Chain A
């Protein structure tokens, strides 16, 4: 226990990097994921195809393989990215976008068909129907699963530990090495810092959800 407190500054460094990775990749994947979802329900077949392809590959591949692709396979075909946070952010964003897309699409499906019919009946085009009528209502069902996706992302940043990013998990591994007598305490310390992010995130989601439900 004492060693956890002793190691606090080290934890905080890792924690900061984890937050950074989660925030940047989270924001990017919310945007990319929503665009992909729009692609997937768009009238243009080629757009639907791209959307489907990215989502299918993204959500059916383990994140570690996505990381291996951006860190080791891309340099193998001549695209050399600097090691560190950049390939990590790209890998996390591509992977998470697939899940954001699916969550948003689930939400779109949950909106009553009559809503879209009504929107079309008053002459809105497909983009307007989506952005003005369907998506705002879809938000209701989408918020909790989206928060789940973002919480999963926060924890998924731990995979970056194996790919040249010293975030929280990598920090924990180093501390476990430095304090072999306190391995379990060191891991509990890591768990604590993840919970510091994820539990408030869950609570915020809960309150947003309640508010959205009331405004129905």
Chain B
């Protein structure tokens, strides 16, 4: 209990620090938020428009552990949030000038299409059907679907073992669809949020929880006595940054930023401050400039 408290305190402090550190284009200058010259971007580009306005609207999830969680104080925290904050910083936008909008799975595409958000950083898996309506920069992280079971349960190690078992996921999510399509012998149980799967797993009402490995790792970190993640991830879920379809200039620019921060260590710092508190630091994936 005590170590957990300390860890969370450290996490919160680190998140606060990283937010402060990301506020400028350079790490050393806390006021650098305004130092980016809008004129340095091509005239008429999305970057110039955002830099000129000094504001950006970012869609993210508010209920994904380690990636995007909104605390009671109203500030979202997590790896997605840090990445978005860095990108905004590169446009000369201070963290305080970012408007965070909660995007749920069903409204990410419409929000981008309507221009209600400038970018979406929301554990947003890049796939072809989504590419029909929006464009993706990145990936900035590659997750994979995995399984979490009760700590004392050794009967499930691969998705093939799910036959006849109850597996819990979120209604309308990609992991749920994958189980439905590829492992039809498993009995799929869906709730509104992954948090809702935890008690049923403890109570034995379901036998496994499935979603991206990073999210599961967060739950295991909170309840190491109750849960464990088994086996290897069995899908690839590249997380991308969603933006308006056809804005190739903006997409190219975000890809440049991602490559730059992967090279100069800011990507790693952002990871270690957020998801890295419970997960090992991975190699950043190569940006896909399709």
A-side residues, CB < 8 A to B, are: 72, 75-76, 80, 82-84, 161-164, 166, 170, 173-174, 176-181, 183-184
For residue B168, which residues in chain A have a CB less than 8 angstroms away from its CB? 164
- Interchain CB contact under 8 A, A72 and B129: no
* Tier of interface size on chain B: 20 to 34
Q: Is the CB of B106 within 8 A of A173?
A: yes
Residues of B within 8 A of A (CB): 105-107, 109-110, 129-130, 132-133, 166, 168, 171-174, 176-177, 189-192, 196, 199-200, 203-206
Please determine whether B173 and A177 come into contact, CB atoms closer than 8 angstroms.
yes
Are B203 and A181 in contact, with the CB atoms below 8 A?
no
Q: Which residue of B lies closest to A84 (CB)?
A: B189
User: Contacts A161-B171, A173-B172, A180-B132: A80 and B109 contacting too (C-beta < 8 A)?
Assistant: no
| A164 contacts B109, C-beta separation under 8 Å | no
Given B129, B166, B199, B200, which contacts A180 in the complex, CB threshold below 8 Å?
Answer: B129
Contact (Cβ within 8 A) B189 A177: no
Contact A162 B171 (CB under 8 A): yes
Q: Which of A80, A82, A162, A183 contacts B106 (CB 8 A)?
A: A183
CA distance A122 to B168 in the complex (A): 62
CA distance A177 to B129 in the complex (A): 9
In the complex where A80-B205, A162-B191, A174-B171 touch, is A75 in contact with B199 (Cβ < 8 A)?
Answer: yes
CB-based contact B172/A83 at 8 Å: no
- Asked if B177 and A174 make an inter-chain contact with CB atoms under 8 angstroms apart, the answer reads yes
Can you pick out 29 interface pairs between chain A and chain B where the beta carbons lie within 8 Å of each other? A75-B199, A75-B200, A80-B204, A80-B205, A82-B205, A83-B206, A84-B189, A162-B171, A162-B196, A163-B192, A163-B196, A164-B168, A164-B190, A164-B191, A170-B171, A170-B190, A173-B105, A173-B171, A174-B172, A174-B176, A176-B106, A177-B105, A177-B106, A177-B173, A177-B174, A178-B129, A180-B132, A181-B129, A183-B109
B125 to chain A, nearest CB (A): 11
Q: Min CB distance, A186 to chain B, in Å?
A: 9
CA distance A170 to B106 in the complex (A): 11
Which 3 A-B residue pairs are closest in the complex by CB-CB distance? A162-B192, A173-B172, A164-B189
